[in-house]
Chain A
Amino acid sequence: MEKMKALCKRNIAFPIFALFFLVVTLLHQLGIVNSYFMQVMMLACIYIIMAESLNILNGMTGLSSLGQAGFMSVGAYSSAIFTTYILHVSSLPEPLQVVAFVAATLVGAVMAAICGVLIGIPALRLRGDYLAIVTLGFCEVIRAIWRVVPADIAGGAFGLTGIPKLANFFWAFLFMILSLYFCRNYMDSSFGRACLAIRDNEIAADTMGIDCFRYKTIAFASSAFIAGVAGSLYAHLLSYIHPDVFSYAKSSDFLVYLYAGGVGSISGAMLGALALTVLPELLRFLNDWRLVIYGALLLCIILFRPTGLFGGREFAFLQLKTGGIRVFHVSTFTNWVKGLFRGEKRVKEGAGK
């Protein structure tokens, strides 16, 4: 208990997220929000993980990836094959099913990370648009592979059906928090700073003793790992996956979430994915006009806030130090609550002249 208290004090984000989780669950139990809303929330969690995964590459390291859906599909397929065909989870008792699901998610994440390294090693000699095209190609190759794998292993062109529905709001939310925690810790460490240095000036990073190739590979593996987690959640939530779900169009969705939210910002990636997953649902009453308005809103965000909704800022409750965020002191409760949501500027602006 004491340990728990200390942990919460060091990570104020935990109690906040726990509270959010309890409120949503309670609303669902009371019938105030329906199952459809819960489904949207779960997808939002998964897309937040994907936006964070992309943020490690595009935001922190300055590597453009258009193949994020590819990593996600590796996680989805390998975890689904693991639970459905290898373990035959549906015949196991319930507590074991949960263990199997967590294990499968790990398997999916590790497989994705391995792919990340395999694609990273040859691709990292390239830069900018060229790297983007290679990752795009990777995404398409993976998709083609899922089509040609025999139907009794991965479902072939018809997609993989009958995946046990093991993921729920609890798991989606938990893995989202763990991903955020991971990204926060990554950014606030020598690993994250090395990535930021490479993004800002690769030659200078190199001459300061940063092994750029090593840190880029680590970034690729880490990004793919959490994309794999999202993939596993996705497969075990919808219980059906098809190669075409993980096309480059999906990758570009994640890109839009990230840039609308604020590339380079962990809070921004979170906010962008959440807003752009929930928004189309809120606009359903507009019927045919829905996508028009959605597109127009997106344009407005990018035109009026080119750095994204939360670019260059972080929620104070994430307690990020890197980027110059000042340590967060709790003085009074009101200040505290205000501080939580105000979104502190990571670095002072315009004052240096």
Chain B
Amino acid sequence: MSVLKADHITINFGGLVAVDDFDIEIEKGELWAIIGPNGAGKTTVFNMLTGIYYPTKGEIYVDGEKMTAKKPFEFARAGISRTFQNIRLFGGSSVLDNVKMAHTMDCHYGYKDMVFRGKKYHAEEERITKESMELLDLFGLADKRDYFATQLPYGEQRKLEIVRALATKPKLLLLDEPAAGMSPGEIDEVIALINRVHTEMNQTILMIEHHMKLVMSIAQKIKVLEFGRTISEGTPEYVQNDPLVIAAYLGGDPDAHA
């Protein structure tokens, strides 16, 4: 069964059709990318896949379960986690706490255990701290655990968002422009990291990215959006040579390349 299925979803904002008839089916272990010019509707797709916006038309299924009218935290519980294009860390909290906060839903002790600090409390807190530190370590952020999240340099904030999203143990990880605003060196590092998460942790990923080098080097399948519509879909080689895509990016006449 597919991890995620978006069945012809459409969303209107007033008169604007921000995403038109978007259709995707992601299988376990795949790495998908969505590309497209600014304002194409990529982030809006993510917002629908995480319950922040409700599609005007169409249905979303996670692991076969219908997610219509579910709230964001229910999407997270169903196994979808994401990062944000404009970083949304828990700025007033430490790096480690940011990751621990993402463990809230898999923290199995009740109010009573919290008040009286029973065995269960200590066991769970220890487990959560250990798992959080392991993830931070993987991303080279372990020694920054005590900093405020907002004190990290920009690139590390983006990494911390990925760590936090991974901490919810998602079935599908959504990355919204994970390399935005990074230096070329950092981009290479991000490519390597996403690759590692994908292959070693067998993480299913759907990402939005502008950097062609990043997308073409690691994505298995690509969807191209323009003005809310899907104009091309396929392997990196196929998409790269699709005249419609070239036209969308270079603003040329599609027939000229055909």
Contact = CB atoms under 8 A, between A and B. Distances in A.
Q: Do A and B share a complex?
A: yes
Interface of A: 182, 185-186, 188-191, 193-194, 196-197, 199-201, 203-212, 218, 264, 322-324, 326, 346-353
B52 A182 contact: no
B151 A353 contact: yes
A312 to B, nearest CB: 9
Given A203-B72, A208-B168, A209-B76, A324 B151 contact: no
B148 interface: yes
Given A185-B117, A206-B72, A207-B52, A194 B101 contact: yes
Interface stretch (B34-42, B105-113, B202-210, B240-248): B105-113
B147 A324 contact: yes
B76 A207 contact: yes
B121 interface: yes
A196 B115 contact: no
Interface stretch (B5-13, B54-62, B91-99, B250-258): B91-99
Contacts of A188: 125
21 contacts: A185-B115, A185-B116, A189-B114, A190-B124, A194-B104, A200-B90, A200-B92, A203-B72, A207-B52, A207-B72, A209-B76, A209-B77, A209-B81, A322-B97, A324-B93, A324-B96, A347-B146, A347-B148, A349-B151, A350-B151, A353-B151
Given A193-B97, A196-B97, A353-B153, A207 B50 contact: yes
A196 B107 CA distance: 16
A328 to B, nearest CB: 14
Contacts of A347: 94, 146-148
B146 A204 contact: no
Given A182-B115, A191-B111, A207-B72, A196 B147 contact: no
B71 interface: yes
Nearest to A199: B92
Given A200-B91, A204-B90, A264-B92, A210 B147 contact: no
Given A196-B93, A203-B88, A208 B146 contact: no
Name the residue in B92, B94, B128 with the highest tally of chain A Cβ atoms < 10 Å from its Cβ.
B92
A210 B98 CA distance: 13
4 closest A-B pairs by beta carbon, nearest first, are A324-B94, A352-B151, A209-B76, A209-B105
B144 interface: yes
A352 B145 CA distance: 11
Contacts of A346: 94
A124 to B, nearest CB: 14
Given A189-B114, A352-B148, A206 B71 contact: yes
Nearest to B92: A200
Nearest to B157: A352
B171 interface: no
B73 A351 contact: no
Contacts of A348: 146-148, 151
